[in-house]
Structure 1
Amino acid sequence: MGFDPSLYLVTDPRLGAPRPLIETVAAAVAGGVTLVQLRDPDAPTRHLVETARALVALLRPRGVPLIVNDRVDVALAADADGVHVGQSDMHPADARTLIGPDRILGLSITDASEMRPGDLAPVDYLGVGPIYLQATKPDAAPPIGPEGLAAIRAVTRLPIVAIGGVGPANAEQLIRAGADGLSVVSALMAAPDPAEAARTLAAAITRGRA
C-alpha cells in the first residue's frame, strides 16, 4: 500500500502519562503525523492487540497507516497496515511471507554494514539510526550522526526514516542529509501539546525539503 513516511510517530506508553495513548496519537495526527508505529515491547499480547485495533479504528478513516513493531502476529490479528522489524527480529523475508505483498514492511538499519541485499529485497522503507543519543530505547546501537545517515542514503533508493534523538532542532538537517521522513518518539509522545509539536516538526520537514 502507499504511505507517506514524512512524520512517523513511534509510541511509547511510558511517555505522556496520564494522557491516554489514543488521545496523544489523535492529537499528533491532527498536527501532521503521517505514519504511526505501535511499539510496546513489555505489553501482554492481548493488550497489544486491543491497542492496535483501537489505533486502526482511529487512524484508518484518517488515511494514516498503523505499523506494529516486531509482532507480526499482533499486526495480523488487528488488521494493521504493516510491521517493522529490527536486526534481531524475524527475517524480513519471513515477515513478508506472513504479512503478504500488500502490507508495509520496515527494517531497522543501525550501520551501513547491515545493508544486505537479501534483507532489503522485501522491504518498503528503512528506519535508520539512532542518529543521536536518545533515552527511549536503552539497548539502542551507538549513534551514527547525520554523516552515517548520508552514507546509507548513498547506497539505497528505499525511503529512509531517521530515528533517534530527532526533534525540531535537527529536523531540517536530517532531511537535507537524505532522510525522507523523521521518526519521533519523545518529541511527540511527551509534548504538552502533541498537535502543536507535530505542526512544528512538519514545518521543519518542509523547510528541509525546500
Structure 2
Amino acid sequence: MTRTPCQLYLVSPLDVGGNFPDRLTAALDAGPVAAFQFRVKGLDQHEAARLAEPLQAICAAHDVAFIVNDDVALAKRLGADGVHMGQDDGDPREARRELGPNAQIGVTCHASRHFAMEAGEAGADYVAFGAFFPTATKTVEHHAEPEILEWWQGMFELPCVAIGGITPDNGGELVEAGADFLAVSGAVWNDPEGPAAAVKRFEKLLAG
C-alpha cells in the first residue's frame, strides 16, 4: 500500500488577534497546508468564536481543514471541520456524537502506544505523537522518539501526526519514520522571514 506523502498541519499561536489573519493568508498562499488548528487559551467562547470566524473563512477559501483545539462546544458552534482533543478533554465517542460522522477528530497521545490504540478504538480520525523536540509553544511533559511513528505505521492505517519543536531542519527524520502530518507552530509563526518563507521551506522538505 502506497502511503500518501506527509503534509503540513499548522497550529495557531495563542495570540490570533491583530494582523494574524493576514499572516495566516500569507502562510496558506505560500504552499500546500492540509489543516489549521485554532488553539487559544483562557477566552470565553464568544470571544474565541469572534477570533475564529475570519480565520475559518480564510481556511475555507484555501480548502484547508479548520480544527478547533480542546473545545468540542466551540467546534460545534462554528461548524468547524473537526476538533483536536487532549487526554483530559473528554471522550472521542462523545465528540463524535456532538459533531457528527464527518468531523475530523484528533487525539493527543504523547509517547503512549496505549493511548494511541485507545484513541483508534474510540473512533479518532488521527492520533498525534510528541513532543519530538524541545518547544517553546507549550510545556513539554512527554518526549516521543521517531520509533513510535514507525511502529504505528507498521500496525495501523489511521494517520499519525508528529508535533513538538518541528522545523524544516529536523523534520526529515519524522517524515522518514512515517509521520502523515507534521504539526508546526513556532517554526512558522516565529520565522524571522515570515510565515510564507517558513511554509516554503517545509514544502521543500515534504517534497523530498
Kept after mapping to 2: 8 A contact 1:92/1:119: no
For 1:134 and 1:77, how far apart are their aligned partners in 2? Answer: 31
The yes-or-no answer on 1:44 pairing with 2:49 is: no
Runs of 5+ unmatched residues, structure 1? none
**Would the alpha carbon gap of residues 5 and 44 (structure 1) be closer, same or farther in structure 2, given more than 3 Å must change?**
farther
For 1:103 and 1:43, how far apart are their aligned partners in 2? Answer: 23
Other structure's SS at 1:105 match: strand
Per the normalisation by structure 2, the TM-score is 0.89
**Paired residues, number:** 201
For 1:157 and 1:201, how far apart are their aligned partners in 2? Answer: 24
Kept after mapping to 1: 8 A contact 2:6/2:175: no
The equivalent residue for 2:11 is 10
Read off the aligned partner of 2:41 and give its amino acid letter: P
Kept after mapping to 2: 8 A contact 1:52/1:80: no
Per the normalisation by structure 1, the TM-score is 0.88
Other structure's SS at 1:200 match: helix
Q: How does 1:112-191 map to 2 (within 5 A)?
A: 112-117=113-118, 120-138=121-139, 140-191=140-191
Runs of 5+ unmatched residues, structure 2? none
For 1:20 and 1:90, how far apart are their aligned partners in 2? Answer: 33
Q: How does 1:74-113 map to 2 (within 5 A)?
A: 74-110=74-110, 111-113=112-114
Question: Residue 79 of structure 1: CA displacement?
Answer: 1.6
Give the RMSD, CA atoms, in angstroms.
Answer: 2.0
The equivalent residue for 1:30 is 29
Question: Residue 19 of structure 1: CA displacement?
Answer: 6.0
Query: Which stretches of structure 1, 4 residues or more, deviate above 4 A after TM superposition?
Result: none
Kept after mapping to 2: 8 A contact 1:129/1:149: no
Identity %: 32
Read off the aligned partner of 2:159 and give its amino acid letter: P
Question: Residue 196 of structure 1: CA displacement?
Answer: 1.2
